Structure 1
Amino acid sequence: MTLLVTGAMGHVGYEIVRSLARERPIIAQYNRTFRAADAEALGAHVTWATCDLTDLGSVERLCRDNGVDSCIHLAAMANEMYCRPDPVAAFQTNVGAVVNLLDVARRQEWRRMIYGSTGSVFKDVDPSLPITEDQPPDADGLYGTTKACGEMMVRAFRAQFGVDAATVRISWIYGPPVVNYTFARGPIPPILIDAIRGVPRDDASGGDFSAGFTYIDDVVAGLIAAVDAPQLNRSTYHLAPPRNYTTFEIADAVRTAVPKAVIAIGPGAMPWNTFTPIRGPMDGRHFIADTGFRTRFDLEQGIGAYATWLLAEPGRLDGAGL
């Protein structure tokens, strides 16, 4: 089985390629960003290939020439902060590329395609209630809407052409090798990185923001479980921890991992809800049933592992920040 991983220079894509580099043939797709040292670190088992996924002919040639028969599709304009200024590019990247891959999967008879989506397809939901895998999206932002459109195309190709494809919605990813941060990444990286640097935080608000923060190792293992599952019975799944965590709880976990941390946070949700409203936890019971995988890292374990990685080489934090 030759697996195509799109967005292979991104956070999740690179970690998937690294995890599987010695287990199976991998085609690691990238477009604009390429880090030669990171590519070389994974050895000759990985074939790195640049490809514009919005061009159907390029996608078809890449997959045909390399014998691709499965895919984990992660390439995207990654959040509202990037999509809102350029809605046309957002649609071409987040929807057009999905359709191109699905059509190649249909014509080349792939074994499986996994489309990585997001909880941002939900907007007006009761934050006190779990979001089921059956709940219809209701996004109105550019990022969430384009990702929901990609989900619709996955369902359509599955229903109309029998393509073995499924969407996996992932909630708020954090962990190595991220050493810089924006608001779109949420509160964990900035609070933890400031703690390790010895920078006190005195945030006027933000403590009541809550989300299903998913550690990178769980994301990688879950997506691999999805692409390898003997059978996927549904078009849409959730990969997320069983509960949400507040920023107050994040601060507590950081204090445990970095005892010298000085963190003060006030109530309220700002600024972490600037681009994303608070949602209930994403219920992934069907994902667990069909893949056999459930998340393994609770918040304290994930932040502890992240801190250990950051502390191992303090030089990693040179230049980190907003």
Structure 2
Amino acid sequence: MIPAGAPVLVTGAAGFIGSFVASRLARMGAAVAACDNFNDYYPVHLKHGRVQALLAPHGIRCEAVELADALQVDRLFDRVRPAYVVHLAAQAGVRYSIEHPAAYVQSNLVAFANILEACRRFRPRHLVYASSSSVYGASENAPFRESDRTDEPVSFYGATKKANEVLAHSYSHLFGFPATGLRFFTVYGPWGRPDMAYFSFAQKMLEGEAIPVFAQGALERDFTYIDDIVEAVVRVAAKPAVVAANVAPHTVFNVGNHQPVRVLDFIAALEEVVGVKARIAFLPMQPGDVPLTYADTSKLQEWVGFAPATSLREGLGRFREWLVTWMVHNKID
């Protein structure tokens, strides 16, 4: 466990995963410092809603910081002096990266390099950072294992996440600080991102709109519930790799549910939970999409004694309860 009172910096803390992780760490007794750049990739009021609902009750203030600005990062680390850094800030979205690569260069490459340099200078006990299943590209060698080749991503987003892993390994090797990348697989749940299929599908179904389904619904995704993601993050953060001579204290773990679901089967589960029959508009497969994501989680299980296991119907049921209430009070454009 992370020691009570230990200063922990959580970046991207107004984001989906970041807000839940910051909240959990605070409940565990950590002294959480939170930051986000509050960009408008999706409606900013959702980010502020997370801060109010998940962070404020624990006395966490989410500071506006642009991590692509090295001076702001330096000042942040100097104030916080973190013992642990959980870096979850990033520009998300596979398809968005095709049209807006510059946003990913700044948020996923420049900002990450600034975080690494700050860790070199301030020497936290452990840096944990978000990677993605997108590093596996269009691999059909399922289930995906951390030892698989990951040098052929099919999206620019995936390429930036692979770059994060390589950069972190080099810094860990050169400067001897422990760093761990977590390859997240299709995270879903309450307070999620409205650009994700599960969120937009449910909202459209409740509003009587057709949902766009690519590749005839044959794509398969390893849907992972947010609580399982958070459990993995806090366990991994508390157990850095051992620093040893001539070995970089850097590693990566898959964090997925190990149960890929066909998109059409996912829609059927969503129909059951939402209580609405979906109207489907079939569309061709999109550039940057992959046919399958499927996590082998045995490495994670061996390291921290945990692997995600929340069933899709249970997780969607919790999401639906939150979404109905949210839609009554908010309109997400």
Q: What residue identity is the alignment partner of 2:18?
A: G
The reply to whether residue 24 of structure 1 matches residue 30 of structure 2 is yes
Q: Which of the numbers 74, 88, 99 marks the counterpart of 1:85?
A: 99
Alignment map for 1:265-284 (pairs within 5 Å): 270=283, 273-284=286-297
Structure 1 contact 25–45 (Cα < 8 Å) conserved: no
CA spacing shift, 1:211–1:48, aligned 2, 3 Å: same
Q: Which of the numbers 277, 296, 304 marks the counterpart of 1:262?
A: 277
Cα displacement string for residues 114-148 of structure 1 (whole angstroms, at most 9, x for unaligned residues): 1101111222311x621101112111422111111
Once superposed, what is the RMSD of the aligned Cα atoms?
2.7
The reply to whether residue 192 of structure 1 matches residue 197 of structure 2 is no
Alignment map for 1:220-259 (pairs within 5 Å): 220-229=230-239, 231=241, 235-259=251-275
Structure 1 contact 7–73 (Cα < 8 Å) conserved: yes
TM-score normalised by structure 1 residue count: 0.86
CA distance in 2, matches of 1:202, 1:52: 34
Corresponding position of 2:246: none
Structure 2 contact 97–156 (Cα < 8 Å) conserved: yes
Q: What residue identity is the alignment partner of 2:63?
A: A
CA spacing shift, 1:158–1:296, aligned 2, 3 Å: same
Q: Which runs of 5+ in 1 are unaligned?
A: none
The reply to whether residue 296 of structure 1 matches residue 312 of structure 2 is no
TM-score normalised by structure 2 residue count: 0.83
Corresponding position of 1:74: 88
CA spacing shift, 1:141–1:21, aligned 2, 3 Å: same
Corresponding position of 1:7: 12
Structure 1 contact 231–290 (Cα < 8 Å) conserved: no
Q: SS at 2:138's partner residue? A: coil
CA spacing shift, 1:9–1:262, aligned 2, 3 Å: same
Structure 1 contact 209–273 (Cα < 8 Å) conserved: no
Q: Which runs of 5+ in 2 are unaligned?
A: 1-5, 243-248
Q: What residue identity is the alignment partner of 2:156?
A: L
Cα displacement string for residues 159-203 of structure 1 (whole angstroms, at most 9, x for unaligned residues): 22211101101011111113x733xx13x2233234444557696
Offset, 1:231: 4.4
Q: SS at 1:263's partner residue? A: coil
Q: Which of the numbers 295, 300, 305 marks the counterpart of 1:287?
A: 300
Corresponding position of 2:322: 309
Q: What residue identity is the alignment partner of 1:63?
A: F
Structure 1 contact 200–262 (Cα < 8 Å) conserved: no
Structure 1 contact 204–265 (Cα < 8 Å) conserved: no
Offset, 1:256: 2.8
Cα displacement string for residues 237-296 of structure 1 (whole angstroms, at most 9, x for unaligned residues): 10001121012221221233234x213558x8x456553211241212111211222113
The reply to whether residue 319 of structure 1 matches residue 331 of structure 2 is yes
Q: SS at 1:236's partner residue? A: strand
Corresponding position of 2:142: 129
Offset, 1:45: 2.7
Corresponding position of 2:51: 39
CA spacing shift, 1:87–1:197, aligned 2, 3 Å: closer
Alignment map for 1:166-177 (pairs within 5 Å): 166-177=180-191
Corresponding position of 2:63: 49
CA distance in 1, matches of 2:111, 2:273: 40
Aligned residues: 312
